[in-house]
Amino acid sequence: CFTYICNMSKAEKNFIHLCNPHLEKMQEDILYHFALGTGTHDLPALFGDVKFVCVGGSPSRMKAFITYIAGELGLGSPGSEHPNICAGTDRYAMYKVGPVLSVSHGMGIPSISIMLHELIKLLHHAKCSNVTIIRIGTSGGIGLEPGSVVITRKSVDATFKPQFEQVILGKSVIRSTDLDEQLAKELMQCSKEINEFNTVIGNTMCTLDFYEGQGRLDGAICLYTKEEKLQYLREAFESGVRNIEMESSVFAAMCNLSGVKAAVVCVTLLDRLKGDQISSSHDVLVEYQQRPQKLVGYFIKKRLGKV
C-alpha cells in the first residue's frame, strides 16, 4: 500500500487513498458508527469541501472547537448552534463549519481506530482532496511545565520504538508512525507567532492504558517501585519523548497508509516526573485544553489567508 502511494502522481496523492480493494466491490458502504452511508447520504455534497479535520477525545471538546473555529473564521452568527451530524448514534460526535470537520474519537487506540476507519472512508467517498488531519488533545508531560504544548515528531510505543504493532489474522503487523515533518514545523511557526504558551516538537509515547502502561503509582494495581517508575520516565525523556497519551500511534499509522498529512498537538496537564495525579483547578485545566485549539485554529486561519 505504501509503495502504491509513492508511485501515485501528484494529483492522485491529493486525494484520500483506501488500502482496501474489497470496498470497490461493495454497492453500498455503511459507516455504522457515524450513522452515515453512501446509500443514505450524499457524502460529496455534505463533506466534499472539507480541507481540515480535527479530532479529539471528548464530544464536548470537539463541539467547543467547532464553535471556536467558526468564530475565528467568521462563519455563522455568534452563539449559533452547530448540529451533531452523527446524532443518530451515541458512539461519536461530528460537527462541521465551512472547510473544517470536528470529530470526537473517544479514549484509547481501539476507539480512535474505529473512528479513523470510517472517517477515512467518509473523506474518500466525499471525494475530498488536500485534507489535513490533526489530533488535538491532552497528555502527561515529561520534563515540561504543565500547560506546555507538544507537537509530535514521531509517535513511539512503550519501548520507545517508532512503530504501531497490531495482530491481524493471528500475525503481528508493524506499521510506521512517522508524522509529516513540514506540517509539524508549520505548526511550530504558528505557535511562535501566537507567542502565548510554551511549545516544543518532540516524540509522543502512545500507551495501551492510563495507569500501569504509563508507569503511574496511583492505579488499583501497581507492582513496581517509585524508583523504577522514575527510571523508566527518565529513559523515555532521554530517548526524545516529551509527552504520553493513548491514541497517536494508530492515528499516525492509519494516516500514513491513507496518504493523509497529519499532526498531533497535545497540551500537557502535568509533569509526570513530579507526580501522577492531575491536581490543577478546573479553570486552569480548561485554559490548558484551549491551547491546542488556539494553535490549530491559528494554523487553519493562516492556511486560509485570514491572518
Q: Which amino acid is at 139?
A: S
Give the residue numbers of the binding site: 91, 135-138, 214, 216
* CB 138 within 8 Å of CB 245: yes
Q: At what angle do helices 109-125 and 248-257 cross, to 10 degrees?
A: 30
Helices (H), the chain: 2-7, 10-13, 43-47, 59-73, 109-125, 181-194, 226-238, 248-257, 282-303
Given the DSSP bridges, would you call strands 163-168 and 171-176 parallel, antiparallel or unpaired? antiparallel
Rounded CA separation 172/121 (Å): 24
The CA–CA distances, whole Å, from 244 to 41, 82, 194, 228 equal 38, 32, 24, 17
Grid coordinates in use for 280? 490543577
Instruction: Using alpha carbons, list the distances in angstroms from residue 132 to 125, 241, 286, 300.
Output: 16, 24, 26, 10
Name the binding residues for substrate: 214, 216
Backbone φ and ψ for 134, nearest 5 degrees, come out as -130, 125
Binding-site residues for phosphate:
91, 135-138
DSSP state of 8: S
Identify how many contiguous H helices and E strands the chain contains and give both numbers: 9, 12
Contact 233, 226 (CB under 8 A): no
- Residue 31: which H helix or E strand, with range? strand 30-31
Q: Is the dihedral of CA 299, 301, 304, 306 positive or negative?
A: negative
Nearest alpha carbon to residue 140 among 246, 24, 245, 37: 245
